[in-house]
Amino acid sequence: MKSPLNGAVVLSLTKRLAWPLIFFAGLLSAQQAAPSQNNSLPPTDPCLQRSIPLTILRRPPKPQLNAAELQVWVDGNRTSVVSLKQDKISPRVVLLVDTSASMTAPYYGKWGTGLLTARFAVDAIPEESDVALVTFSDQIHVSGFQERQRVSEQLLALKDTRPKGRTALHEAIGRSAALFGLPQFGDVIYIVSDGGDNRSGVSRKAVEEELTQRGIRAFVFLIQHDAKTPEERQGAVELPEFAKQTGGFAISLPVSARGVASKEATQEANSIREQVRSPYRLDLKLDAPPVKAAKLKITLSSAAFDLSYPQHVEPCQVKVAAANP
């Protein structure tokens, strides 16, 4: 389902239950290819071989996506598809939670729906993944990678605090990206926020380029409420668009305590986890390494599928970490 918000992709949990949508068919590989146990690319110039993660937003109930259905262009030039496959991974996840004053909602209590949404996001992370928690307002607090259960405990501790301060969203995204070090296939940032930056000295464009270059996609768990400031109103539009540019999307969650505990929500979190474990990986062979960001366009012969993918191929970065086995 396409959102009217500047073409950004926004999915609704309640509407999702009536549609055969697959939220997360693939999170993150670095755009420059990282070697894996089943790497389908020959050992050629690493600046020419790229791995693009594809997220399936809509597909038929059973058919799998195959390479013959894809046409790929980089800066308007048709590009060779080497392979399309699904990998089995344990992706690293940074959970980025907004704790600024806009997260308050008196009729819900101190926290509004922010912590409930964060709980849903944690449930959607594979149990075996390493997870780092980053909380932000005008101050940014970072934990190292750890087990998912430990992050759940840290979120529970937040209920005794009150959201306050301004919103350094872009700076917090940049700090989150730095936690990964060298890129690994599957790296992803979950952002729990209503959007709106009124504190960072870093632009949205700068962090957008950084995530795309490092192969990190952003997935937004968008909190919607009555925006009070111009930054909040603009953020509700810009944050879904940011996710789209990096190859992710935004999920709109009408969350309540009862809803988070519902059978439907449990099924949805299970579905997301399984798709994170088995992402589609599109391997490309470029004719020449781009010297600046090159527009990426992917079309499909089947209208039954709907994809999200990074909107650009960035200049080469040769140093990459070993792939996640």
Q: What is the CATH number of the domain that holds 141?
A: 3.40.50.410
The answer to whether residue 325 is domain-embedded is: no
pLDDT band at 253 (very low <50, low <70, confident <90, very high): low
What's the pTM? 0.84
The answer to whether residue 246 is domain-embedded is: yes
The answer to whether residue 16 is domain-embedded is: no
Question: Could you give the CA distance from residue 279 to residue 6 in angstroms, rounded to a whole number?
Answer: 26
Name the E strands within the chain.
Answer: 10-12, 49-58, 70-74, 77-78, 80-86, 93-98, 131-136, 140-142, 188-193, 217-222, 250-252, 280-285, 294-300, 306-308, 312-313
The answer to whether residue 62 is domain-embedded is: no
Q: Residue 238 pLDDT more than 60?
A: yes
Strand, helix or coil for residue 131:
strand
User: How many domains are there within the chain?
Assistant: 1
Domain membership of residue 267 as a residue range: 93-274
The answer to whether residue 240 is domain-embedded is: yes
The answer to whether residue 10 is domain-embedded is: no
Q: Residue 17 pLDDT more than 60?
A: no
Q: Residue 261 pLDDT more than 50?
A: yes
The answer to whether residue 60 is domain-embedded is: no
- Structure-token pair, residue 291: 């010297």
The answer to whether residue 213 is domain-embedded is: yes
Q: Residue 31 pLDDT more than 60?
A: no
